[in-house]
């Protein structure tokens, strides 16, 4: 029996791959440490790439929504309002509210009895009762400006898309045709409560006759 056991052991040993062995504990620890270091070094770049993709998606959504509203105003012969509020230069947030006038006049968008709510769209961390939260929670509107240069304002503003295809902007007590361009800064942020801008914003640009478009500065 002993000789048979030894014979079986020799056969088993002969079947094992030659020159192969498993990792030692020290080797595993070294490999894991290297992976952790590489991940730590690469994370800021990965996060930046993700943020840039996210703000481009939000900018594209705003452009698509605006151009659909522009077309809807022409088809229905109604004025449509786009109200922008709850913007912030220090956190990812904003709300886009779309309303429809019961006539083709922009001025009727200012009268609650002559307009109807179409939708309220929250961006970033903003919340709207009954609306789904934004998928891109780290992107908001950092402000707007009525020029291609100058400081951004986070004050509420409103645009009117007319059946004639033009874009008007609210000034004082009424709407006037948009001159030049109006830009929205689509800003990505990093953090989780202690927000900091994650790179420069992308801009959604509006003009009187042209559709909305994404631009880079």
CATH of the domain at 194: 3.55.40.10
**What is the model's pLDDT at position 24?**
74
**What is the model's pLDDT at position 115?**
97
Residue 124 covered by a domain: yes
All residues at 6 or more sequence positions from 137 whose CB lies less than 8 Å from its CB, including other chains: 92, 124, 125
The residues pairing with 122 across neighbouring beta strands, listed in sequence order, are 95
95 touches 89 (CB < 8 A): no
| Beta-carbon count within 10 A of 101 CB | 24
| Token output for 24 | 């030692």
**What is the model's pLDDT at position 9?**
52
Residue 209 covered by a domain: yes
Residue 14 covered by a domain: no
Residue 203 covered by a domain: yes
DSSP state at residue 191? S
**Spatial distance between the Cα atoms of 203 and 14, rounded to a whole number of angstroms:** 70
Domain that holds residue 193: 28-215
Residue 183 covered by a domain: yes
Q: What is the DSSP string of 102-152?
A: SSS-GGGGG-GGGEEEEEEEEEET---TTSPPPS-TTEEEEEEESSSSS--
**What is the model's pLDDT at position 149?**
79
Q: What total number of domains does the chain contain?
A: 1
Residue 4 covered by a domain: no
| Beta-carbon count within 10 A of 159 CB | 25
Q: What is the pLDDT along the chain (217 residues), one digit of tens a residue?
A: 445 455 555 544 544 555 555 567 776 767 676 666 665 554 454 555 454 688 999 999 999 999 999 999 999 999 999 999 999 999 999 999 999 999 999 999 999 999 999 999 999 999 999 888 888 999 999 999 987 778 999 999 999 999 999 999 999 999 999 999 999 999 999 988 899 999 899 999 999 998 899 987 6
212 touches 204 (CB < 8 A): yes
Residue 134 covered by a domain: yes
**What is the model's pLDDT at position 41?**
56
Residue 17 covered by a domain: no
**Spatial distance between the Cα atoms of 28 and 129, rounded to a whole number of angstroms:** 51
**Spatial distance between the Cα atoms of 67 and 39, rounded to a whole number of angstroms:** 41
Please report where in the chains the tokens 């056991």 appear, as a residue. Answer: 5
Task: Provide the 3-class DSSP secondary structure of residue 11.
Answer: helix
User: pTM for the complete prediction?
Assistant: 0.76
């Amino acid at each position: 029996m002993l000789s048979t056991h030894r014979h079986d052991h020799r056969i088993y040993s002969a079947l094992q791959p030659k020159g192969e062995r498993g990792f030692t504990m020290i080797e595993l620890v070294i490999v894991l440490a290297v992976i952790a270091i590489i991940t730590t070094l690469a994370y800021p770049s990965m996060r930046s790439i993700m943020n840039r993709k996210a703000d481009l998606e939000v900018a594209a959504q705003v452009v698509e929504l605006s151009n659909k509203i522009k077309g809807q105003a022409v088809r229905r012969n109604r004025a449509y309002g786009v109200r922008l509020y709850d913007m912030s230069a220090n956190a990812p947030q904003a709300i886009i509210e779309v309303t429809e006038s019961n006539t083709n006049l922009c001025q009727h968008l200012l009268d609650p009895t002559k307009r109807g709510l179409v939708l309220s769209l929250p961006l970033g961390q903003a919340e709207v009762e009954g609306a789904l939260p934004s998928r891109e929670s780290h992107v908001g509107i950092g402000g707007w400006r009525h020029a291609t240069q100058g400081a951004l304002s986070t004050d509420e503003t409103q645009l009117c898309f007319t059946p004639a295809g033009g874009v008007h902007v609210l000034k004082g007590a009424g709407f006037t045709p948009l001159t030049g361009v109006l830009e929205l800064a689509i800003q990505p942020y990093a953090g989780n409560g202690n927000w900091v801008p994650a790179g420069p914003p992308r801009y959604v640009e509006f003009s009187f006759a042209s559709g909305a478009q994404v631009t880079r500065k």
